[in-house]
Structure 1
Amino acid sequence: MLLLLAASACGNDRVLDPAAASDTVRSTGTVMVLDDGGGPQLCLGAIAESMPPQCEGLDVTGWDWADHPGHEKQGGTRWGEFQVTGTLDDTTFAVTDAVPADDASVPPTEEEVDFSSPCPEPEGGWRVLDPERTTFETQEATISAAHRLPGFSDVWLDQTRVARPMNDPRKLILNVRVTGDPDAAEKELRKTWGGMLCVSRATVSKEELEGIQEELAGQPYHVSSGVSLGVVHLRVLLDDGDLQQRLDETYGKGTVVVDGAVFESIG
């Protein structure tokens, strides 16, 4: 995988770019357009919840606030939420239509994260092996030890077996993924952890995932990304429909997952 990363750094610095230019795009949800006196911008990423709000994003051309009387204004800043249509490059959005958020037709999105353990249920069922080493203190010590394991990829808590997750160390399954030998990693973690434990194999280490994330974050069509559950989760400006395939071919299947795009192509 280290060789893969080295190769990608040389030849895939624009892997997020759409394979072909799209004539017209529409935002998949509502977006904030904000003008603090320097010209209108379409906000991408985090928006500071100040008054007035603050953000960074794409320059917007063809925008006239007189066409959008429902916008808000404070001091020298104007802003509003819209579903927008227009044309896009990696630095500028040329708007042709904007529907106020209250009138936009945007389907709700729900993201479900699977925190269940990949390990099969052990013989005799899931159970605590040593209650004295199944405490908040030993849990934190074991998580710290997991981060020091060779090829560490991820750690999380599986509380799907209890009706009401309460962060009780005796009721959760501590999950660790490593690129090396899971048995050797489990033996090391059992020095401090007496609770339920699942150690599984990862294909990419956390260090490598963070390297991939850093590489993608430097590309123009990147909006946001993060590492979670052994995967780089990615949001982009525009997904041409083939982006996931290109990412799989570049970094390995499932290493980077496209969670969404700001725009969709409509013609």
Structure 2
Amino acid sequence: MAIFTNQATLSYNGLTTNSNTVEGELVENLSIDKRALSSDYCTCPITYILSLSNTKETAAENLTVSDDLGGYLYNGTTVYPLRYIDGSARYYVNGTATAVPPLSSEVPLEFTGISIPAGGNVMLIYAAVPTDYAPRDSSTGITNTASVSQEGVVLASSDTTVLAMVGPNLSVIKSINPTQLQPGDMLQYTFLIENSGNVAATAADNLSVSDLFDPKLGNLSVTLNGTPLSLNTGYTYDSATGLFVTVPGVITVPAATYQRDPATGAFVTTTGKAVLQVSGTV
């Protein structure tokens, strides 16, 4: 709703006089509310919920709902920090699941042929994943705007901001060498731990790697980034069960660094890394 005022001016014989000021109110028949189920993002999908209401006594038909996916200009070209996940949309009319309206565009996102019953509401739910154009710095985020329009005229809009996640974002890849061996041979497991987050994983995060070795290993030796770890202070190993566990907090992983491609505007991530190697005889 919006209050408006205006005033007239009467001119005659070189004189002017003003009228009284009148006031009116624009009452919106259509409204849209946009919300994100996530307060921050890193690499995981973000689910958005659009709620549209119609207070008119007649249905609102032939509506288009769009989302700009946070598009912004970089070097004169619009880039998009979000990408719609195909097939993720769900649609409800007055709380009843209904076929999803036609998708006329994915970039930016646009659904057409939407109708809202008189005095009713619809809900459109969909997911989008951050792209290489999504800022990674902890002080920034993605703001995207959804709008409902009819015959090219925007009737209502709503935006939401999701901030870049502050913290480590870890993954681990395990490899084995060699892949074929005989009893008594030396076997080495390598655990590559990567951090794509904007904050380092420190001792306070109590990072720990555990693995149940089968076959069990003997004559164990363990290194972290090439530096030997000692039994009990760096790791524990139960030779009877094959359970290997690093002492929580021993492993730390630097934060990722981010550089922007000056030509495309995409953010290039260099992950922080830690390498744990466990060797023993089978």
TM-score where L is the length of structure 2: 0.25
> When the two structures are superposed, what TM-score results if normalisation uses the length of structure 1?
0.26
Larger CA Rg, structure 1 vs 2: 2
Structure scoring higher RCO (CA < 8 A, sep ≥ 6) equals 1
Question: Which is richer in strand?
Answer: 2
Compare the two structures and name the one with the higher helix fraction.
1
